[in-house]
């Protein structure tokens, strides 16, 4: 199927569809109308139809969506049917939180290694994956054909490490460092800036306070 | 100053402006043109002007932006000049990562307490803040006038706990649980769904692969 250019907003909603459909599947629901899905997800039914039309539809007039089929197809669009070889750089609390999250594995994100600079962490394992020293990074990435690296290290190290990873063949960075990475165009970067998320929250509190004082 | 309704996209960009301006300040830069800022941030200069015009501008023709002033003003818009009393529910790796992140405190997010159900964590402290048992939650939240709660607990507990928090006066939830919370309209929710972020990353890898096979 030929796909058009998909907007960022649609891409942001797809994983949420996937999550809801997964929950429906778990509850044994076999099909669902766009109206029902709309009510659950608090998105308009026309929004749902429009979003899914980007990928060719999937619905049948008067029947609704086949949950299993739609779940599988969205999974394919999200690239979840293939395995992705992943490493985590930074074995601090955040790195450990990611490493411990077994659900990633279920989605095909296979944790191959965890790296840190702290020699006291050497030999520690998280879900069976040993923490390695950062000196081994280049060789490991090449030998294991690592595709994704999650960066949970301080911002002053992140740029350098990210460039090193890319030189050694890593194609996608899941960036938790509080900085932009400015990597070559072909490298895929997904940022999770927690402090920015918290600021958005306080922005909304601030707005609310102002509106309700007036 | 009267403010118009600001779009989500602008709100998402504001913390990033704030971050860049903070870095400029650290480097002793006193003023910057929208063109310079544009080059650094990889946003068009007209986008920057347009975004800041939502809040009344701040620029002077031919002078550019006063970095300190703009930083302070954006901080005010983001609600960072007031203190926000925060707790974390869930003292696992992710909760600990958040608790250890001292930069939040600098921005006015004051960590008042950390809660967990696991009695083995009772008495542990993180940056001087003790981990308390979840039974104390209701009273603590009221006594300390907690404004923000970060939820880093499994999804099957999150909805119930969030509702309990709201009943006890919490006004904003920073939600890391993999579920939507469906709280009353006046409650502010900021979601950080890490698995959805990772799916967006794999979507982009998948797209890239398809485009480059053709």
What's the complex ipTM? Answer: 0.91
Task: Select from B202, B209, B212 the residue whose CB has the most chain A CBs within 10 Å, as the one to mutate to test that interface.
Answer: B202
CA distance to B106, B153, B194, B199, per residue, from B178 (Å): 28, 9, 8, 13
All residues of chain A having their beta carbon less than 8 Å from the beta carbon of residue B104 are 195, 198
- pLDDT tens-place string over residues A83-92: 999 999 999 9
| Domains, chain A, ordered by start | 8-77 (1.10.10.10), 84-196 (3.40.50.720)
- pLDDT tens-place string over residues B159-197: 999 999 999 999 999 999 999 998 999 999 999 999 999
- pLDDT tens-place string over residues A78-120: 999 999 999 999 999 999 999 998 778 888 999 999 999 999 9
| B110 close contact with A: CB closer than 8 A | no
Is A93 annotated in a binding site? The answer is: yes
What is the model's pLDDT at position B101?
87
pLDDT exceeds cutoff 60 at B2:
no
Other residues' Cβ atoms within 10 Å of the Cβ of residue B186: 9
Strand partners, B32: B65
pLDDT exceeds cutoff 80 at B158:
yes
All residues of chain A having their beta carbon less than 8 Å from the beta carbon of residue B11 are 200, 203-204
Cα distance from A183 to chain B (closest Cα, Å)? 12
**Confidence class of residue B214 from pLDDT cuts 50, 70 and 90?**
low
All residues of chain A having their beta carbon less than 8 Å from the beta carbon of residue B98 are 194
Sheet holding A31-32, edge to edge: A31-32, A64-66, A59-60
d(CA B115, CA A97): 17
Is A90 annotated in a binding site? The answer is: yes
All residues of chain A having their beta carbon less than 8 Å from the beta carbon of residue B14 are 199-200, 203
CB B1 within 8 A of CB B76: no
* 8 Å CB contact of A206 and B100: no
């Amino acid at each position: 199927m030929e796909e058009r250019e998909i907007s960022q907003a649609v891409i942001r909603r797809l994983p949420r569809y996937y999550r809801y459909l997964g929950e429906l599947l778990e509850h044994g629901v076999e099909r669902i109308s766009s109206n029902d899905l709309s009510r659950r997800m608090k998105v308009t039914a026309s929004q749902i139809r429009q979003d899914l039309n980007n990928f060719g539809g999937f619905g049948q007039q008067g029947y609704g969506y086949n949950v299993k089929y739609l779940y599988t197809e969205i999974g394919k669009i999200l690239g979840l049917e293939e395995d992705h070889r992943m490493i985590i750089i930074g074995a601090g609390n955040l790195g450990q939180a990611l490493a411990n999250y077994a659900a990633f594995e279920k989605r095909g994100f296979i944790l191959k290694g965890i790296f840190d600079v702290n020699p006291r962490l050497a030999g520690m394992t998280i879900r069976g994956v040993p923490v390695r020293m950062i000196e081994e990074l280049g060789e490991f990435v090449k030998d294991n054909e690592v595709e994704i690296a999650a960066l949970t290290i301080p911002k002053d190290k992140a740029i350098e490490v990210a460039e090193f990873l890319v030189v050694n063949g890593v194609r996608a960075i899941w960036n938790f460092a509080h900085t932009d990475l400015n990597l070559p165009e072909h490298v895929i970067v997904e940022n999770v800036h927690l402090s920015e998320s918290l600021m958005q929250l306080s922005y909304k509190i601030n707005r609310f306070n102002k509106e309700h004082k007036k």
